[in-house]
Amino acid sequence: MIKKRGINKTFQSITEAAALTVYRREVYSEYKRFLHQLRLQLQALHSLLHTFSLMNLDQWHLLKTKKEIQRIHLDLQLLLTKEFVFSNDLKRVWLSQILKDLDKK
């Protein structure tokens, strides 16, 4: 009887160990699936942040360009006003310089 109980306990221990091993594998598999999903979501978030930063950078460049155009427009208005006190030759030189600056950009 003692041997029978010992065999039953050993069999029960082996069964529990096998069940625990299977359970650990399932948990590990679920954990790997979870990490994979998390990685995909982080990649999507990274892509969105990259796109957002590029949009902000483009908007900043557009704003900078708009301000530059406004400055040039004001310079041209000043150049062409009747209140401008310099001679016409100087106006032409300044206008040609502004046009050269525009060509460079």
Query: Which distant-in-sequence residues (6+ apart) come within 8 Å of 79 by Cβ?
Result: 91, 94, 95, 98
pLDDT in tens, 69-105: 888 777 777 766 655 555 666 667 777 777 777 777 6
DSSP 86: S
Q: Which of 2-6, 47-51, 90-94 has the lowest mean pLDDT?
A: 2-6
pTM exceeding the 0.75 threshold for the entire prediction: no
Q: Which domain holds residue 68?
A: 2-104
Is 98 within 8 Å of 76 (Cβ atoms)? yes
Residue 99 tokens read as 């046009």
Q: How many domains does the chain fold into?
A: 1
pLDDT in tens, 5-28: 666 778 788 888 888 888 888 888
For 53, other C-beta atoms within 10 Å of its C-beta total: 10
Is 96 within 8 Å of 102 (Cβ atoms)? no
